[in-house]
Amino acid sequence: MLEKNLPFIPKVPNLEELAEQLIDKVGVSVTRRFQIFLVEYLAEAYGVRQSQLKPDLECFVNAQANTYAYRGRSELNNICGSVQMSPGRTGKVGGETVTITKVPNCKGVDLSKIRLLFDSCAFTDVLTNSRVSFSKALERQLQTLAKMLGCKETWLVSYDRLIDEKFVDGKRIKQRWSVDEAWEAVRQTVEAARYLSSQRYRLDGYKLVLSCQGVDALQYQQCVEQVLEYATPSDVLGLGGWCILGKQKKWMPVFWEAMRRVIPLIAESGVTQVHIFGVTWFKPHQGYDPPLPGLLRLCDEYGLSLSTDGRLPSAPAKLIAYC
């Protein structure tokens, strides 16, 4: 019987055979390139080696999701490569739900072998219907990261204002703001990018992710234009506000109009990396094609690399990146 809380160390199988078994189980035809990427992914997942291959679409997997618990224990190599975490969680204080700054408890993650997307707690603060200053949001990130030494690479996300959640009669609902309401969110989002950019003198070693928001295509374009004023070529432009596509497909036409406006602007600015938050929907649904393949093609057209993040199990999240 295993001692409580000891990490589970998986036995390494023949990776080529395992890859073939997984492909056969899905029952689809894949390219040789896909097979090579799959074997490399499995090698990372089992801790055999770190792959030098770069996927067409990188997916940062939420390492704090319950998906990665294994009967109360953490697998030693259950997550690898690209990982998303947050410096805060919701908790109860005095009977109220609040955002609590907390170091992520992810025993299965070897920080020295991952690329970390470190959130600003903007979404967590939505869950608790709270908001802090830009300086406090950054300190929350940096104080937590100081206890997480050794990350191979860290992407630091700006403290934007989300426009897809509302509190009605004390309850949170998934509802997009109106264009008029969202101008204040755009203002705060641009200010968040400006503030994070102003702190570069003490952020050596971090890659900055400057997030954008907006309800309609024109508003989104104006937000991107203003955020790009504070971006450098080494930054990542964050596309926020589109996780709603998974539940509300009616926003797809607005999404595509916005993307056709902003992707050329991003490329023209010299920024080469784009990250879309919380969009892992990759199969046709309700008569709509998924956004990721089309966005990847659009980014390819303008020489931009694309990444996303989500709660999907690491294998499916990675595999869609290699298709």
Return the SS3 of 8: strand
pLDDT at residue 299, rounded to an integer: 96
Q: How far is CA 100 from CA 66, 83, 147, 247, 254, in A?
A: 18, 21, 16, 28, 35
How many other CB atoms sit within 10 Å of the CB of residue 264? 14
Give whole-number Cα distances, 293 to 107, 302, 310, in Å.
33, 15, 16
**Which portions of the chain are predicted below pLDDT 50?**
1-2, 69-77, 313-323
| pLDDT recorded at residue 8 | 53
Which pLDDT belongs to residue 33? 86
What's the helix, strand, coil split of the chain in %, to 5? 40, 20, 40
Q: Give the model's pLDDT for residue 305.
A: 96
Rounded distance between C-alpha atoms, residue 180 and residue 53, angstroms: 44
Parallel, antiparallel, or unpaired: how do β-strands 81-85 and 114-118 relate?
A: parallel
pLDDT for the residue numbered 77:
43
pLDDT of residue 322: 35
What's residue 323's pLDDT? 34
pLDDT computed for residue 6 by the predictor: 53
